[in-house]
Structure 1
Amino acid sequence: MASSQGTDAGKTALREEYVRVRTRMSPVVRAATDARILQRLELLSAWREARLVLTYVSFGTEVDTHALMRAAWQAGKQVAVPRCRRSHALDFFVISSEDDLEPGFRGLMEPSRDCGQPLTTPQLVGSVCIVPGLVFDADGYRIGYGGGYYDRFLAFYPGEKVALVRGQQLSGNPLPRDEHDVPVDWLVSDSGTWCCNPMVQ
């Protein structure tokens, strides 16, 4: 795992560092790395057993989730993606193809207004959530983009939480964390899979 500058590093500094780390990778290396991550994800029991996959829609140099969505549909799973609310909350909507996406908050691709009603918490039972982030530590804590959207959602989420992480996004040091931060259960990297929560094994 890479160093994160230590536990006293501020989240803003870490965000800046790991954005640079991510953008320094060539597109060819990113694509190959992301393909290996998806292969490992498909071996994870939480993925295999899930009937519903909640995922962010990747943009820029994030770990690719478009191939993930196609793999989920091919496996007969439902896919739901988030729409951001002004209250810094997320609503997830089921989509049937990437044609159901349209530009939304800050230009991010979101479910179109034709995608029906947001999923309720009971409907999320038995699902798996793919959680975005810039860097993760061995306990599953992360530095995200600073909006707090996912931590608010994950506080009440009933399923297993998975992060897709390139090796350069793994911190060898504990990351700064706040009371409201929610760790993921699994880290799936191009080099291996780690369980951060013994309760889900």
Structure 2
Amino acid sequence: MASSQGSDAGKTALRAEYVRIRTRMGASVRAATDARILLGLEELSAWKNARLILTYVSFGSEVDTHALMQAAWAAGKQVAVPRCRRFHSLDFYVISSEDDLEPGLRGLMEPSPDCGRPLTPPQMVGSLCIVPGLVFDADGYRIGYGGGYYDRFLAFYPGEKVALVRSRQLSGNPLPRDEHDVPVDWLVSESGTWCCNPMVR
């Protein structure tokens, strides 16, 4: 249950603030910014070395991942996207094109039932996970949408984690965090790339 005090209240206020920041950006500015972010991602060694990309399917004013999926397929990589399950958990399924997607929870695009079995952690070794969020700090911690889906998944994920983030979604101050929160290893923005985890350099 959400609290009106402490870090929960802080996260709620930050979510509202950064949703406003994101939606105030014009569509053409978002498109140009996201194109530069994708170029930065493609220069990242973790991207170049990954045989499998796990990514969310962007919705609304989120950083675009549709071009990212096309870039991955063009580079000979596999792409997997999540399906939301009960108890706020995620399963990832390999898709061969966006035709394999259909509306799921809250209208978000998810893999269709024809996509076979979900990936297991051993099958994800050597992959790269693109992690969504509303705002990130320099340590790789984030404020997401409040469901806890990705933190539950990332607790057992064996690969590197990267956030695609517009500069306006970067916090100069540490964000509120709980002990179950899992930081990303890399931040890629239109202005540059930042390693949050020296162990992956």
Please give the range of the TM-score, normalised by the shorter of the 2 chains.
over 0.9
What TM-score, normalized by structure 2, do the two folds share? Answer: 0.96
Higher helix share: 2
Moved >2 Å (runs of 4+): none
What TM-score, normalized by structure 1, do the two folds share? Answer: 0.96
> Does the CA contact (< 8 Å) of 1:53 and 1:79 recur in 2?
yes
Give the counterpart letter for 1:15 in structure 2.
Answer: R
Measure the CA separation in 1 of the matches of 2:117 and 2:147.
23
Aligned to 1:64: 64
Measure the CA separation in 1 of the matches of 2:162 and 2:194.
10
Map 1:42-81 onto structure 2 (within 5 A).
42-81=42-81
Aligned to 1:137: 137
Superposed CA RMSD: 1.0
Aligned to 1:11: 11
Q: Write out per-residue CA displacement over residues 113-147 of structure 1, whole angstroms, 9 at most, x where no aligned residue.
A: 00000000000000000000000000000000000
Give the counterpart letter for 2:47 in structure 1.
Answer: W
Give the counterpart letter for 2:60 in structure 1.
Answer: G
Aligned to 1:160: 160
Measure the CA separation in 1 of the matches of 2:60 and 2:86.
23
- Give aligned-pair identity as a percent: 86
Aligned to 2:128: 128
1:30 pairs with 2:30: yes
Measure the CA separation in 2 of the matches of 1:25 and 1:156.
35
What is the Cα deviation at residue 87 of structure 1? 1.2
Relative contact order (C-alpha < 8 Å, sep 6+): which is higher? 1
Instruction: List runs of 5+ in structure 2 lacking aligned partners.
Output: 1-6
Measure the CA separation in 1 of the matches of 2:146 and 2:127.
25
Alignment coverage as a number of residue pairs: 195
User: Does the residue aligned with 2:123 lie in a helix, a strand or coil?
Assistant: helix
Q: Write out per-residue CA displacement over residues 63-107 of structure 1, whole angstroms, 9 at most, x where no aligned residue.
A: 000000000000000000000001111000000000000000111
Measure the CA separation in 2 of the matches of 1:8 and 1:191.
30
1:188 pairs with 2:188: yes
1:91 pairs with 2:95: no
Measure the CA separation in 2 of the matches of 1:168 and 1:113.
37
What is the Cα deviation at residue 9 of structure 1? 6.8
Instruction: List runs of 5+ in structure 1 lacking aligned partners.
Output: 1-6
